[in-house]
Homo-oligomer: A and B are copies of this chain.
Amino acid sequence: MADPRLQPLPGFRDFAPQEYALREYLFRAWRSVARRYGFVEWEAPTVEPTELYLKKSGGELPTQLFRFKDQGERDISLRPELTASLGRIVSSCYLDYNKPLKWYEIGSCFRYEKPQKGRLREFVQFNADILGEAGTGADAELLALAIDCMRELGFTSKDFIVRVSDREVWLEYARQHDVPEPRVQDFLGVIDKLERTLPEESDKKLRELGLSRDSIMEFIAHPPTGISPRYESVLADLQARGLGDYVKLDLGVVRGLAYYTGLVFEIFDQGHNLRAVAGGGRYDRLISTLTDGSIDMPATGFAMGDAVIAHLIETCPTAKAQKDAALVPHVCDVCLALAAPEMRGQMLMLASTLRDAGVRVDLPLADVKLGKQLRHAERIGAQYAAIIGAEYPVIELKKMDTRESKRLLLEDIICELIPRKQ
């Protein structure tokens, strides 16, 4: 079956309707929660000048870029993430919007990575950002939104945890331990990778900075009380919303990208079996960097990909049951069936009338035996079949689940089917 010429490129995915349904389910959940939080949708170009990513992101992105020259010799890249585009767009039009901006986006990103479970070359991200508010009220609102996206998909505090950290704590730690200023980003990089690096290796790097892995691990395991006033403030806010159980302070989280400042966070499954489901944090200086200091706008945001969350849904019985129930196909409300070929015109007119009123209608496109038409109605999940035959304008309306049938006049069929859509 798997003809290689019919496959997508490695790391890319086809979404035939059965696969698209899950994608649509995630999109619906993200949009629904974002709108409840008063966020508005935006979108960026799929392709941007490569410079936009080289300049500010730092970290791993540049090596993973889908980067190429266009026919006009421009150095361009498929977007690996949305924050750089967001910064660019907000900088060009922020005067048209009331602050704080609460913007969300859903779209494809691209990274040239080795394809594996949860890592794809094209994946979909949900991005949510609050711009123009420096206080922790914005961090808390964003965290609440992230938590509610998980709750909307059927996850509880037994299934996931938001690990919140504070980069300022580490910057203060570096200052107190005399880490030289130019080495601070390296220091943050070592902390970021502690969980996935051999202990000796991390320790060696930390000793070069005059530190030790043991003392860092101790600091993470038992952070001094009140070490992050920002976290305390966000926690109190989330507790007032009834969402306090979903977060914990975890200084082991740093986030790879260099542009983060202040509070950062990552969402993990409670078993910590998968990669981060979502991650984000403050990036108060990005817009200033992009505009060479002419616009100063504090910001905080996060992104959630579609691949890891899809894996997590499969491992969580309540989330999986909710998803399976939502994915039952209902392609149409009524499937018209033709028992007398000479009534095709009447059937087409009925289809138009119903569709104009918003009813989802399927109909036979060629002369097909009645039995086959009714099997089609069943397979596509139609709620009703309406059989148009020689007795027209009397029509047989059949409810597909109960198999109940009644004979109705054309105008009664219309009255029966249309109100359900209004």
Cα separation A37 to B152 with both chains bound (whole Å): 30
Query: In the bound complex, what is the Cα–Cα distance between A356 and B359 (angstroms)?
Result: 30
Cα–Cα distance between A20 and B66 once the two chains are bound (Å): 26
Interface string of A334-377 (1 = CB under 8 A from B): 01000000001110110110011011111111100000000010
User: Does chain B have a CB within 8 A of A171?
Assistant: no
Contact of A100 with B241 in the complex, beta carbons under 8 Å: no
| Chain B min CB distance to A171 (Å) | 23
Tell which of B45, B236, B344 touches A8, judged by Cβ atoms closer than 8 Å: B45
- Residue A81 lies at the interface, judged by CB distance under 8 Å to chain B: no
Name the contact of A130 in the complex, choosing from B12, B141, B364, B365 (C-beta under 8 A).
B365
Give the shortest distance, in Å, between A44 (CB) and chain B (any CB). 6
Q: How far is the CB of A411 from chain B (nearest CB, A)?
A: 17
Q: Is the CB of A15 within 8 A of B42?
A: yes
A317 interfacial by beta-carbon distance below 8 Å: no
- Confirm or deny: A193 has a beta carbon within 8 angstroms of a beta carbon on chain B: no
A sample of 25 inter-chain contacts (CB < 8 A) reads A5-B88, A6-B92, A6-B290, A9-B47, A10-B72, A14-B44, A15-B43, A15-B44, A16-B42, A17-B97, A18-B96, A20-B41, A32-B358, A36-B359, A37-B362, A38-B360, A38-B380, A47-B78, A47-B110, A102-B362, A137-B365, A138-B366, A148-B356, A240-B346, A241-B348
Report the Cα distance A96→B16, complex, angstroms: 10
A8-B45, A366-B137 given as contacts; is B36 within 8 A of A241 (CB)? no
Q: Are A365 and B135 in contact (CB under 8 A)?
A: yes
Nearest CB in chain B to that of A90: its residue:
B16
A291: Cβ under 8 A from any B Cβ:
yes
Judged by a CB distance under 8 angstroms, whether A133 is at the interface is yes
B240 touches A36 (CB 8 A): no
Q: Are A9 and B49 in contact (CB under 8 A)?
A: yes
Q: How far is the CA of A41 from the CA of B357 in the complex (A)?
A: 21
Q: Does A400 contact B (CB under 8 A)?
A: no
| Known interface pairs A98-B379, A348-B240, A365-B130; A46-B122 also in contact (CB < 8 Å) | yes
CB atoms of A108 and B74 under 8 A apart: no
